[in-house]
Amino acid sequence: MKKKVEKKNDSKMFGNKPNKILDVLRFINDFLEDNWITRRFLRNTKIKVRLMVSFIALSIIPLTLIGIFSYSLSSNTIDSKIRTYSKQLIRETGIKTEDVLVKYKNYAIEMSLSADVQKKIETVLSGDDYSGFQAVSELNNILLTKFSSHKEVSFAAILLDNGEMVKYNTSDSLNNDDTVKRLKKLADDNTEDFAWTTETLDSKHNLICLRKIKGVSWSKNLGYLLIGINNENFLNIYKDINIGEGSELFVLDKKGKVISCSNSSHLGKLYEDKGLIGEIEKDKHAEHIFDYNDSMVSYKEINGTNWFLVGKVPISFINAEPNRIKSSLIVFVMACLGLSLFLAYLISGSISRPLDKMVNIIKEAKNGNLAVDIRDNYKDEIAIVSENFNEMAANIRKLIEQVRFLSVNNVLKSSELIAESSKQSHVVSEQIAKAIQEVASGSANQVEEINSTVSNMNQLDESFNKVEENMVSVFNMVTNTKELSHYSLDTVKMLNDKTNETCTASKEVIDDIVDLNQYMRQIKKIVETIVGIASQTKLLALNASIEAARAGETGRGFAVVAGDVNKLAHRSEEASTAINNIINNIQEKTQHTVDMAYKANRILDEQMGVVRETDDSFRKIYDAMSSISLCVENVSQSLNKAITSKDKAVNSIESISALANQAAVSAEEVAASTQEQIASSEELAHFSQELNNMALKLEEAVEKFTLK
């Protein structure tokens, strides 16, 4: 009751959440019990296997899901970071490249718009040889002064409109007419009077900045300014930038020609993957990032040119780190799997081994060996079930010992006593029957004699005159009658003695039956004790089932054991109920026998009264015969007295006749009662034999159990 009150108080303190949780758990439990998977798979699988599978599932599934989520999240994060980093790096590198190109563009603008430079060019173009030579020399000094400090500048030149060239650190390849014409044409075709191009001069790839030189005073074309930047020096802008292992960083123009890259063999040639520039042109963004042929491509258009700074990173590099994470996660999951297997084997073994031991011991108990004991010194639920099983086995042993040493012995002794008493009663009843038959036969003879005496008395009345002649015969007849009366008195005395013996035997039979009834009541109390113990066993099994239900999945095995115990208790209760019914039937039979014995005793008492009356009657007859004898002796003295005695004798004979008839009827009734008593004794003997057989069967059933 205290526990229930505490639970109600907890529910009030914490609201309906515990109830909702219990409802959810009950719903899950009902679902699992009704589910065909539970019925066909889980309940048909050993607890050890279920526990191991559960432990592995509970450890691997969350780890696998976390690993997949972590791998996906890290892969997406790394991919996003690399893409963002690459895009930002390409942007910064492109800006840096633009700054370099703008610097040289500004150099070109500064020089092309310089009044001193234009004046000197005009001097050269004026046709004065000396002044022109001097102006060319001064232009060379200007170029030398301007670019000698810039190591990245490979050459600088001014192509005059008259075909003359002012050079700084140029090679002979620049004197090629085709090269000069191509450069001039490129500058003329450019609407901004400014262009960037590439040329291979003396086997070296150069980036060339072209600008027209127009007169400030008038828009006359004075020439072209060329500033060449060596590719090796241009690579210094981005050669130290690493965007990933196996990645490439290069510059392409819109036609797909390689403007700058670390591999000199590709310079000035179309890029080997011709579709790349098409994808860039199709994208139509100044800078963007996209996936292309197992690579991530990030590009930026370089302002003021038709070039693109392109970075190409292999997808394998992007996935390298996620793959390492995936490998690490797989190793970690496998390690956790191994640990889960070990823990699952350890924990399931700690549950399955005691259960297997318990199952084997219960099998022995099922086969009748109750001298078993489960030794479990731990404190878990299995130990509690083991302790309850030990207590149950001890209670059953005590019960069987009580049945063996109390009920069986008492029943056997009582049944033997009943059998012996019934045999004695049968013998006594047969003796009583014989005596009654003799009494009936004597009564019949007595009636015949009395009838004969009546006839004689009638003759005596008819021929009283012949009294004297027949006095001797009368005297003899009286003497015989007297002897017969004396014999009748002895017979009645014997009948009285036999009746006393019969009454004593009947009382002994009644006492034995009463004792048997008391023994039956003791057996009934023992059977009621067995029923109570069976009820307690059922209650214990019910409590074990409740505890197994509370334990959930781990307690399902205990529920099976509790069910078997409940069945055993139910069978014990049914057997006890059957024994109780049999005992009730025996008690009814014994009570009926007691009633019949009491009835027989009453009949015997009536018979005793009849016998006593008969005895009195025979004594009267004897006295009457004595009187007759005296009358006969004195007949001669007084005939009147003889007549009076004759009348008295007639009356006495009539009374004797009535008494004799009554005695005969009573004897017949006593004989019938005796036959009934004999039948009851036989029936009691039959019942005692059945009780003896039942006791033997009960002893055989009890002997099947091993208690020590």
The pLDDT of residue 646 is 62
Strand partners, 223: 160, 213
Query: Residue 5 domain-assigned?
Result: yes
Query: Residue 394 domain-assigned?
Result: yes
Whether residues 520 and 600 share a domain: the answer is yes
pLDDT tens per residue across span 569-625: 777 777 778 777 887 887 777 777 777 777 777 776 777 777 677 767 767 776 766
pLDDT tens per residue across span 526-537: 877 887 787 787
Extract the runs of DSSP E, i.e. beta strands, from 445-545: none
Could you tell me what percent of the chain has a pLDDT over 90?
A: 0
Whether residues 25 and 102 share a domain: the answer is no
Query: Residue 566 domain-assigned?
Result: yes
List the one residue out of 421, 443, 438 whose CA is nearest residue 498. 438
Whether residues 96 and 214 share a domain: the answer is yes
Higher pLDDT, 224 or 527: 224
Whether residues 632 and 527 share a domain: the answer is yes
Average pLDDT over residues 395-404: 73
SS3 (DSSP) at 379: coil
616-630 burial code (b ≥16 CB/10 A, e <16): ebbeebbebbeebbe
Evaluate whether 558 touches 547 at the Cβ level (below 8 Å).
yes
| Residue 423 CB partners (closer than 8 Å, separation 6+) | 681, 685
Query: Residue 341 domain-assigned?
Result: no
List the one residue out of 660, 629, 501, 599 whose CA is nearest residue 493. 501
Whether residues 209 and 111 share a domain: the answer is yes
**Amino acid identity at 82:** I
Whether residues 408 and 557 share a domain: the answer is yes
The pLDDT of residue 364 is 74
Query: Residue 687 domain-assigned?
Result: yes
Whether residues 38 and 131 share a domain: the answer is no
Query: Residue 98 domain-assigned?
Result: yes
pLDDT band at 43 (very low <50, low <70, confident <90, very high): low
Higher pLDDT, 522 or 643: 522
258: which 2 tokens? 């390689």
Distance CA 677, CA 527 (A): 32
pLDDT beyond 70 at 438 = no
Q: Which CATH number goes with the domain that contains 646?
A: 1.10.287.950
Evaluate whether 309 touches 94 at the Cβ level (below 8 Å).
yes
The pLDDT of residue 1 is 39
Whether residues 625 and 495 share a domain: the answer is yes
Whether residues 160 and 258 share a domain: the answer is yes
The domain in which residue 243 lies consists of: 90-318
Whether residues 156 and 255 share a domain: the answer is yes
Which one of 303-312, 500-509, 685-694 scores highest in mean pLDDT?
303-312
Whether residues 560 and 646 share a domain: the answer is yes
Distance CA 566, CA 304 (A): 96
pLDDT tens per residue across span 51-102: 777 777 777 778 788 878 877 887 788 778 878 888 888 888 888 888 888 8
The pLDDT of residue 680 is 67
Final residue before a domain boundary, out of 318, 348, 369: 318
Final residue before a domain boundary, out of 262, 289, 318: 318
pLDDT tens per residue across span 486-532: 676 677 677 777 777 777 777 777 777 777 777 777 887 787 788 77
The pLDDT of residue 583 is 77
The pLDDT of residue 101 is 83
Torsions phi, psi of 33, nearest 5?
Answer: -70, -35
Q: Which CATH number goes with the domain that contains 197?
A: 3.30.450.220
pLDDT beyond 50 at 453 = yes
Query: Residue 421 domain-assigned?
Result: yes
Q: How many domains does the chain have?
A: 3
Out of 337-351, 395-409, 509-523, pick the least confident: 395-409
pLDDT beyond 70 at 138 = yes
The pLDDT of residue 4 is 42
pLDDT beyond 60 at 560 = yes
Final residue before a domain boundary, out of 283, 318, 353: 318
pLDDT band at 10 (very low <50, low <70, confident <90, very high): very low
The pTM (predicted TM-score) of the whole model is: 0.45
Whether residues 578 and 457 share a domain: the answer is yes
pLDDT tens per residue across span 355-375: 777 778 777 777 777 677 777
The pLDDT of residue 35 is 57
Query: Residue 668 domain-assigned?
Result: yes
Q: Following DSSP, what letter does each residue of 302-364 receive, concatenated?
A: PTTSSEEEEEEEEHHHHHHHHHHHHHHHHHHHHHHHHHHHHHHHHHHHHHHHHHHHHHHHHHH
Evaluate whether 337 touches 315 at the Cβ level (below 8 Å).
no
67: which 2 tokens? 């690993």
Average pLDDT in the chain: 74
The pLDDT of residue 187 is 80
- The residue length of the chain stands at 708
